[in-house]
Chains A and B, each alone.
Chain A
Amino acid sequence: MSTALTFTTSRRPDGAVVLTATGEVDMSNAGAFATALAGARQTAADTPFVVDLTAVEYLDSAGLSVLFPHVEHLHLIANPLLAPVLTIAGLDDVTTISE
């Protein structure tokens, strides 16, 4: 059984596609996260693509590694707990930390 992680994809009024993840991301479910990212990305096509990690309590390098292929297209929203990891990974310029 993989670590609990759920996704929802929605479109914001401004047209941006938002992938909202809930749970924890580690090597056990990084594959699922990658699939979800790829699906949402496809949906977004050329419109802005936002990955909302506010409800993700844990993200490690396995999760980061599936974010990197999309780094030029996506924007991240994350809670402060993930800030150090995202900063260290060099993703802080595409990240908005929600308060």
Chain B
Amino acid sequence: MSEDVFAAGDDVGRDLAAVDWAATPLGPPEQWPQSLRTSVSILLSSRFPMWMAWGPQLTFFCNAAYRRDTLGQKYPWALGRPASDVWAEIWGDIGPRIDTVLAAGEATWDEALLLFLERSGYTEESYHTFSYSPLRDDDGALVGMLCVVSEETERVIGERRMATLRDLGSDPSAVRTESQMLAFAGAQLGHNRRDLPFTLTYLLDDGAARLAATTGIDAGHPIAAHAWPAAQLARGESVLVPLTGDLPAGDLPTGDWAEPPREALLLPLLQQGGAPYGFLVAAINRFRELDEAYRGFLTLVAGHVAAGVASARNYEAQQRRAEELTELDRAKTAFFSNISHEFRTPLTLIMGPAEELHSRTDIRDEGVRADLDVIHRNGLRLGKLVNTLLDFSRIEAGRMQAGFEPVDLSATTTELASVFRSAIERAGLAFEVDCPPLAQPVHLDREMWEKVVLNLLSNALKFTFTGTVRVAVRADGDRAVVTVTDTGIGVPADEMPRLFERFHRIENARSRSNEGSGIGLALVKELVELNGGTITADSTVGAGTTFVIRLPFGAGHLPAGGGTTGVSATADPYVQEALRWVPGAAEEAPEVVAPATGARVLIADDNADMRDYLTRLLRSAGHRVEAVGDGQAALESARAQNPDLVVSDVMMPRLGGLELVAALRADPRTAGTPVLLLSARAGQEAAIEGLEAGADDYLVKPFSAAELLARVRANVELARLRNHHARWRTALIDSLQEAFFVCDDDGAIIEMNSTFADILGYGPEGLPYVPVHPWWPDPAADPEGYQQVTGAFGMLIEQSRGTYTIPVIHRDGHRLWVAAAFNKVADPETGRHVIVGTFRDVTAEHYAVQRESALAVLSVRLSQAESLTGALQGVLVTLRELWQATQVCAVVFGDADSPAVVTTDPELSWDDLSAARRQELATLREKPLLTSVAEQAGGAGIALEHPDGTMVLFVELAENRPFTEQDQTLLALLAGHLGQGLNRIHQIDQQRETALALQRAILGPAELPAGFAVRYAPATRPLKVGGDWYDTVTLPDGRIGIVVGDCVGHGLQAATVMGQLRSACRALLLQTADPAQTLTALDRFAVRLPGATCATVFCGVLDPATGDLAYSSAGHPPAVVTHADGTAVLLDQGRSRPLGVRSRTDRPAAHYAVPARATLLLYTDGLVERRRQPLTAGIDRVTTAVQQGRDDTLEELADDVMDGMAPAGGYDDDVALLLYRHPGPLELDFPAEPTRLAPVRSALRGWLARCGIDPSVAQNILVAAGEACANAIEHGHRHRPAGTVRLQAAATADDVHLTITDRGLWRTPQPADNPHRGRGLNLMRALMTEVTVTTGTAGTIVGLQARIPR
């Protein structure tokens, strides 16, 4: 036997079996009650941590899960010991809870309660969520408690630390000064004085430690001045320092604890590539071990502080640099404007040798030639820019020397245009040159004209992506008209007035290149005007632009001058530049395989040369480079490749650098990618703009190769440092016991940790998870769950923070419950709102709660049940609701031929079940008791003990609903309780059977005399007996003794006293036939019978012939007589004290003559007594009820009174009721012989007289009854000679009812056959108020009713 109890427990079971139980109050397991055995086996078979305590000393049991999670070193010592010894250190916390459970029988529930345990060799901070529920023995008495517990220490502490780290990272302003940053960090650290009882932050200035911030401790505390081991810290090592010994400790602050920390961990504030910024002194919570997680947390805290210091110092440096750049720009501007002409000489000296080198055939190195090309092209470009600038300065200085000459405008223009043909056609555009010869030449400066045409064509190509560029020359009166038309992007109307303004550029215009100084058109206009012409522009956005130049023929308007012919070298820079804008241009920079150590760098620049230059430069430094021509391409590439660094120009077509940064930051995939912006625009404003857009660094052109490489290296390293933090963050998040997720404001999950993947089975490879998420329950199979999840999801999207608990489906299909908490936060990198949430698997807790409530419901059902079957039916309904099962059935394999079946569905018998189901149930019957068995086909069963034999409980689930392990545990638990409950009910059943038999035996007479009606309602359920009684006893002289009494108390106890009093009273009445004497004798009896004194009794002796009633009352409420006319009389004479209460006078007697058709009511006080109401009010009410029912039959009246007087919740006291109506009914049985008619008539006449009916009415009744009797006799004669006829007569206040019954067949009157018989029926109908004739095979019943006139 004892092995059985512990069989489910494996190791713990063996150790439990080894306990010397005989030495405990529980005794050897063989003697344990069934309830204890059940509890132990449930405990041991559960995988949830549980312990229980049983018996007077609350002897301790636990299971393997509890041993593992909570008990620690106390195992196996704890087994079998008093629970107060086992948990002595926390008994102050849990003792009162256990007392509550044992006193009230109600379960407790504590969530994450802080308990200091001694299980690990030190006092340990721990958190437990647990529930204590009462355990009952076989008799239902509270004898112990069961604790279902889940250890939550790691979760609570992990959450707390995570909150601190999150708060540290939540600094809303991106950039702060060092002191602001330290103040903010200090405020956050100060919120967590459990993990950080106090901290001291020191910064190193020239090797000297300076206290920069404190939390939880006063900066003036002696310990702040302690000489910490700075050398070790300077080497970047952490140091654990005991806070004892020779430290100037003073009274150390204790943080959130009662005792001060004993150790502090000193952590360096690491600087990338440099000596630490300083160090952090973090006091250690003495109630937690400094384990890896704790150390990791502190390291991350220090890392945050260090990063903050780095960021603040960076910001300050950046500000200084921006100021320097502004100054530099000022100088540069002055420089350019003053000495740009000085460029020409060095440019010439560059270009000359470069061209010479380029033309040398002995240089074959492709790299060198590519470099020469770059030098050449950019020399040309620089020359063009310098020339343009010089043109302006010349124009401005009035020093522009124009050499006018007669020019064939068509030929010259055609020639100029032709040099652009290849560039335009390579760009995929049509090029139309329509320049028919003009009749006369135009005087102009050829070189200036070249610049005009080349600028316009360059412009057209730059802004045209499809269609045509057209050049046309016409004569128009005295002017030549040159038009340059494109089908490009056009110029917005509001930009037109400023089109020719110097340095004005149209922002955000889509173009082939963003290069340009904004002076081309301004120069064109100046040049055209110098040549005596005008230029206008006409443009439509999206359709194109047309420039119209009008030049006068002749030379009258011009000063004379010389000139040159042919296309000058001027054209080359324009064409070379334009060719670089179009596809197919020389971009084939050689691929260099980058060493693996390099970073992946993405370059975005619309200038192909700059692109090539940067590419070569960065590749030479070992980076892997990808180059694109604009921001949009960069964005696409960055999203696809996720480079380590993006180097981008600011001014680019399609998508500029600043917009690129914004787009990268807005996308979670690239939000962290560092961006280095390059721009020609100098100045603090430009730098700030770039940084505010989210760029990590900003480099102003011109820059040296070394500077660029240094910046790239720095940013890559910074990114890696950041990634280092990110990795730490990831590692920490991954180490969380809680699932962590980030979702965007559309509800798509964009980040998760490994716990998330563990809990739900959906990993980061599937990111993003857009709603509807795959773990949502199926709306068809689980509409309720789906509803809950959609509700929670709505909350997640709409509210800024919240928590919810929802069911979800693991990837493998099993169902979980998770509790989630979320916060809406602004992503510090992108500014977008994201939702950061955590959740944990609360399936166990959910089921624990479910278990508790299911047990509670089950207990209620069991306690309400009055029978085994009733209990089962109630429980099955509960189980069906719990599992939303399609059907739940219980089959008892008892002694009967076929097993007894109880189901939640309409009556099913064993034979109605399918053969397969019968087989399943029979198999389950053979399984070990209280062991859940989940079936493949959607359901589970369990066998348990039923008082009639083994019972199999089967829960049939809807299709696809799995029956989980938790479900099985729950089913086992419920089955255990159900078994005990059924056993209890069975015992109660037996008690009730006994009690009912007892009640039948002692309550009242087996047969009442005619004319009486009685009712009995006991207050105590389920035993239907009580202390009230009624009795009638027929005395030898024909009179009837009537007794109604009320013993003190309810239930079985009162019933036994009542039984004896009743018997005594009956005997005494038979002996004395006198009420007062009877009660006097009963007094003597009562004083010897414990519990009998103070019983109240109304005792009367009634003469049924006359209605004379002698009565005496022992403290009993008065009887009520209601006359036929409604007058009510209280029989309140003959009163004296309750039984056994001494009195100096004899018990008095009184007489009352009950008039004809009056109703006598006797009752006990339970009928009329109501709280906060005088007894007389109740008596008045019952009197009214009898008055209203005085014309009803006595049985109807009894029902109406009992129903009408009952309080809303039923009688709360025993009630006995006795009614008598005078006279009692007449009942005569006589042989069906004519000679019997006269005596029957005589008896009826006498009864009618007792009823107070006047002779003429009586005569009518006699004749009608005589006719009915005569008929009956005729039937008897004809068919059953030996038959008898019965006549019954009863009176109410206003009516007499007669019934004449025979065993023969009524003959339908046949006047021709026997005319006077028909006359008989007519007579009855004429004489009576109502006549009914009911004929059946068994005989005929004639009902007669006569109204009694008042």
Binding site for B on A (CB under 8 A): 1-4, 24, 26-28, 58-62, 64-65, 68, 80-82, 84-85, 88-89
Contact = CB atoms under 8 A, between A and B. Distances in A.
B1323 A88 contact: yes
A87 to B, nearest CB: 9
B1323 A85 contact: yes
B1272 to A, nearest CB: 11
B273 interface: no
A1, A26, A82, A84 pick with most chain B CB within 10 angstroms: A26
B440 interface: no
B1235 A60 contact: no
B1234 interface: yes
B1237 A26 contact: yes
Given A60-B1323, A61-B1270, 17 more contacts: A3-B1238, A26-B1234, A26-B1238, A26-B1270, A27-B1270, A28-B1235, A28-B1238, A60-B1320, A62-B1320, A81-B1259, A84-B1256, A84-B1259, A84-B1260, A85-B1263, A85-B1327, A88-B1323, A89-B1319
B542 interface: no
A65 B1267 CA distance: 13
A24 B1238 contact: yes
4 closest residue pairs by CB, A with B: A65-B1316, A28-B1234, A3-B1238, A61-B1320
B1238 A88 contact: no
B1266 A60 contact: yes
A26 B1233 CA distance: 12
B1235 A3 contact: yes
A83 B1136 CA distance: 55
A58 B1273 CA distance: 18
B172 interface: no
6 contacts: A3-B1237, A28-B1237, A61-B1267, A64-B1316, A80-B1256, A82-B1259
Nearest to A26: B1237
B172 to A, nearest CB: 111
Given A2-B1235, A3-B1235, A58 B1260 contact: no
Contacts of A4: 1238
Majority secondary structure, B binding face: helix
A2 B1256 CA distance: 25
A77 to B, nearest CB: 17
Interface string B1232-1243: 001101100100
B1262 interface: yes
B284 to A, nearest CB: 117
Given A26-B1266, A81-B1256, A61 B1316 contact: yes
Contacts of A59: 1263
B1270 A62 contact: yes
B1326 interface: yes
Contacts of B1316: 61-62, 64-65, 68
B1297 interface: no
A58 to B, nearest CB: 6
B1259 A61 contact: no
Nearest to B1237: A26
B1317 interface: yes
Nearest to A1: B1235
Contacts of B1266: 26, 58, 60
A24 B1241 contact: yes
Given A64-B1316, A65-B1316, A88 B1326 contact: yes
A82 B1262 CA distance: 11
Contacts of B1262: 58
Nearest to B1259: A81
A4 B1260 CA distance: 20
A84 B1324 CA distance: 11
B1315 A65 contact: yes
A39 B832 CA distance: 131
Contact of B1322 (A82, A84, A88): A88
Nearest to A89: B1319
B1255 interface: yes
Nearest to B1326: A88
Nearest to A5: B1238
A86 to B, nearest CB: 11
A4 B1326 CA distance: 27
A58 B1239 CA distance: 13
Nearest to B1320: A61
Nearest to A63: B1316
Contacts of B1273: 27
A87 B367 CA distance: 151
A26 B1315 CA distance: 16
B248 to A, nearest CB: 129
A75 B1234 CA distance: 28
B1260, B1266, B1317 pick with most chain A CB within 10 angstroms: B1266
B1319 A65 contact: yes
Interface in B1310-1338: 1315-1317, 1319-1320, 1322-1323, 1326-1327
Interface in B1239-1284: 1241, 1255-1256, 1259-1260, 1262-1263, 1266-1267, 1270, 1273-1274
A3 B1319 CA distance: 21
A27 B1271 CA distance: 10
A84 B1327 CA distance: 8
Contact of A60 (B1256, B1263, B1274): B1263
B1234 A88 contact: no
Contacts of B1320: 60-62
Nearest to A85: B1263
Interface string B1194-1237: 00000000000000000000000000000000000000001101
A84 B1328 CA distance: 12
Contacts of A58: 1241, 1259, 1262-1263, 1266
Contacts of B1234: 2, 26-28
A85 B1315 CA distance: 16
A85 B1327 CA distance: 8
Contacts of A60: 1263, 1266-1267, 1270, 1320, 1323
A91 B94 CA distance: 102
A1, A27, A81, A88 pick with most chain B CB within 10 angstroms: A27
A3 B1239 CA distance: 9
B1276 to A, nearest CB: 12
Nearest to B1238: A3
Nearest to B1270: A27
A90 to B, nearest CB: 10
Nearest to B1265: A60
Interface in B795-810: none
A85 B1264 CA distance: 10
A92 to B, nearest CB: 13
A88 B1320 CA distance: 11
Contacts of A1: 1235
Nearest to A79: B1259
A1 B1234 CA distance: 9
Contacts of B1255: 81
Nearest to A2: B1235
A80 B1256 CA distance: 8
A62 B1266 CA distance: 10
A38 B1320 CA distance: 23
A31 B961 CA distance: 90
A7 B1255 CA distance: 25
Contacts of B1323: 60-61, 85, 88-89
Contacts of B1238: 3-4, 24, 26, 28
A3 B1274 CA distance: 17
Contacts of B1235: 1-3, 28
A23 B395 CA distance: 166
Contacts of A62: 1270, 1316, 1320
Nearest to A65: B1316
A88 B1321 CA distance: 12
A18 to B, nearest CB: 24
Contacts of A82: 1259
Contact of B1327 (A24, A80, A81, A88): A88
A60 B1273 CA distance: 14
